[in-house]
Amino acid sequence: MEIIKVNNYEEMSKTAAEYIIRKVRQFPEATFGLATGSTPVGTYKRLIEDHRENGTSYKKVATFNLDEYIGLSGENPQSYRYFMDSQLFNHLDIRKENTFVPSGSAEDLAGECRNYESKLKNHGGIDLQILGIGNNGHIGFNEPGTSFLSKTHIVDLADSTIKANARFFNTIEEVPTQAITMGIATIMQSREILLLASGEAKADAIGQLLGNGVNEQFPASVLRNHPNVKVIADKAALSASKVRV
């Protein structure tokens, strides 16, 4: 795991965006795995700026998002589909039909999980996966205890995740209690992974990630077994890590 230490959120966003832009230019047909949450918003802003100013094209790019809340349709402003459209896709020349987010309102959710895996397979898998990290070490919505062998599946959200994500909703009661997420094994099949972390709130999680041990109680620790992971973290996020970077 390579650790790239940066000063703050802005620098993290710039570093991540530059990395993604280089990938798209070198490999215009790349498939990206994308994340939601506050962490990647600054990165997405920079991709949009670069697209406007320098014309980097996403016409041939495909994207697969990590997760979606169950019970929310894509028109719901709290859904991850809506988030991705408004924060990124609507501002690039990407073809909407090449942007995949699991459907949290599908009638057959188990079928939706299987479909998502086969669509991903048909696209040849993920070239570069962008990840954030939950305070409890979750990646996507893979909460502590999730099997490292898991594929796209339905999860019950941990109370701490519901609390952390309540900031996006009017009341905590509105936060869905279930989600559909790419599994740990799905994420691990990505050829390359960029994990982003910023701020003191992530310091403990990053400390554990960079500490010793790989175990299912701390889902992100599985990344230690992946051959091509870069962690772009700012000073605050690295403040509880013992590693020297």
Q: Does 142 engage in binding with ligand GLP (CB under 6 A)?
A: no
Given the residues 112, 138, 153, 165, select the one marked as catalytic: 138
Decide whether 53 or 173 has the Cβ nearer to ligand GLP: 173
Cα–Cα distance for residue pair 92/55, rounded to 1 Å: 9
**Between the CA atoms of 234, 240, 241 and 245, what dihedral angle is there, to the nearest 10 degrees?**
40
Q: Give the CB-nearest residue to ligand GLP.
A: 132
Choice from 79, 129, 150, 165 touching ligand GLP (CB under 6 A): 165
Burial 71-97, CB ≥16 within 10 A → b, else e: ebebeeeebbbbbbbebbbebbebeee
Catalytic residue list contains 174: no
Check if 67 is active-site: yes
Smallest gap from Cβ 59 to ligand GLP, in A, equals 26
**CA 139 centroid distance within chain:** 7
Overall residue count recorded for the chain in this entry = 245
Active site residue 136: yes
Residue 180 binds ligand GLP (CB under 6 A): no
DSSP summary character for residue 151: -
Stretch that binds ligand GLP, among 15-23, 98-106, 133-141, 186-194 (CB under 6 A): 133-141
Q: Does 39 bind ligand GLP (CB under 6 A)?
A: yes
**Helix (H) / strand (E) containing 179:** strand 178-181
Using the rule CB under 6 A, which residue among 16, 141, 153, 206 binds ligand GLP?
141
Asked whether position 172 contacts ligand GLP by CB under 6 A, the answer is no
Is 134 a binding residue for ligand GLP by CB under 6 A? The answer is: yes
Assess whether 11 carries a catalytic annotation. no
CB 25 within 8 A of CB 51: no
Residue-wise burial string across 32-43, b where 16 or more C-beta atoms lie within 10 A, e elsewhere: bbbbbbebbebb
C-alpha span between 98 and 110 (Å, rounded): 22
Under rule CB under 6 A, residue 7 binds ligand GLP: no
The stretch near ligand GLP (CB under 6 A) out of 50-58, 103-111, 127-135, 183-191 is 127-135
Q: Which is nearer to ligand GLP, 12 or 56 (CB)?
A: 12
Q: Which residue in the list 136, 142, 153, 165 is annotated as catalytic?
A: 136
Residues that bind ligand GLP (rule: CB under 6 A) add up to a total of 14
HEC per residue, 78-113: CCHHHHHHHHCHHHCCCCHHHEECCCCCCCCHHHHH
Q: How far apart are CA 191 and CA 199, in angstroms?
A: 27
Q: Which is nearer to ligand GLP, 57 or 216 (CB)?
A: 216
| Interface with ligand GLP, residue 67, by CB under 6 A | yes
Q: Catalytic residues, which ones?
A: 67, 136, 138, 143
- Residues within the interface to ligand GLP (CB under 6 A): 35-39, 66-67, 132-134, 140-141, 161, 165
